Amino acid sequence: MFVCCAYYTDESSFEVKIETDSNDITEHPHDDKPKPYLCTVCEKRFTRKDRLNDHKQTHTGEKLYSCTQCEKRFTNKHSLSSHMYIHSSKYKCTECGKCLKSNDALAVHRRSHSGEKPFECAVCSKRFTRSCTLVSHSRLHSGEKPYKCHECDNAFSESAHLNSHMRVHTGDKPYKCSLCNKSFSESNSLQQHKRCVHSNRRHYDCRYCGKLFKSSGELKLHVRIHTGAKPYSCRHCSDRFTWIDQLKTHLLKSHNEGTWFTCQICQKKFCHSSSLKQHLLRHEV
């Protein structure tokens, strides 16, 4: 079975043809059932009102449904119900023992062991284990960003990216470190925190001076010292900067763009919130 998705740009158009199988179909985009219920945030449509209401929770960031086994929280009942299969061990991988939420999810997971990537991008030939991942990837070629934030002007090519972005507005930090209880809005931020704060392992070495770092991000920033790279440019003038904080300081001082952080005790102003926090410690002495 093939699913065809067409994409258009200003200069050309292309079609992504996806060969699917019964283990990878979870949605039916060409279903003839009427979908009268419209999400006013991302314009996705639904056949039933209760599914629209569940979907709206993904935009608010609220997680009203809690798992009684592990206290993980979810935005809708369907996600919670799917999650509960993990605790029942109904769909368990015989290779690694991981429990999945459905037979479809188990079939996709098994590809991580076999290395199978049956879905190929017709533009760049990159291959994927899941058809939905290919569809999301194809939006990079077309520039399509259908998922729009209703709080600001940001738009995203994937709904998961929009959901992560919404935490900027809601302040939700669902990923908690088990070692120090510090919380994060994204799982990769938690993983980086564990590597940098709770681990002494340094796997990333600088090819210029041999200095070791805990993360690739730290190494990338360090290398700029050797290369002199200045990736951050001012939109108002020709000045360029090595660090993002340097650009923010420049925009604030030279072009009055940004927000000053003011000490409520002595009224001293700072360009960065971190600088204000350090300053406030002096008042506590």
Q: Give me the mean pLDDT over the 92-107 stretch.
A: 82
Percent of the chain topping pLDDT 70: 86
Most confident of 103-112, 137-146, 183-192: 103-112
Query: Which pLDDT score is estimated for 98?
Result: 78
Backbone angles phi, psi at 59, to 5 degrees: -90, -30
Span 109-147, pLDDT tens digits: 888 888 888 889 888 888 888 888 888 888 888 888 888
The domain locations on the chain are 2-170, 173-229, 242-284
pLDDT digits over 12-36, tens only?
444 444 444 444 433 344 456 788 8
Tell me the pLDDT tens digit for each residue of 257-271.
888 889 999 998 888
User: How much is the pTM?
Assistant: 0.38
Q: According to the model, what pLDDT value does residue 5 have?
A: 46
pLDDT value, residue 226: 93
Residue of 24 and 50 predicted with greater confidence:
50
> What is the reported pLDDT for 61?
60
pLDDT at 193 over 70: yes
Residue 105 has pLDDT above 60, yes or no: yes
Provide the pLDDT for residue 285: 66
pLDDT tens, position by position, 67-95: 887 767 777 777 787 777 777 777 888 88
CATH for 2-170?
3.30.160.60
250 — pLDDT class (breaks 50, 70, 90):
very high
Q: Is 173-229 the same fold as 2-170?
A: yes
The domain 173-229 is placed in CATH, from the list 3.30.160.60, 3.30.457.10, 3.20.20.140, 1.10.3720.10, at 3.30.160.60
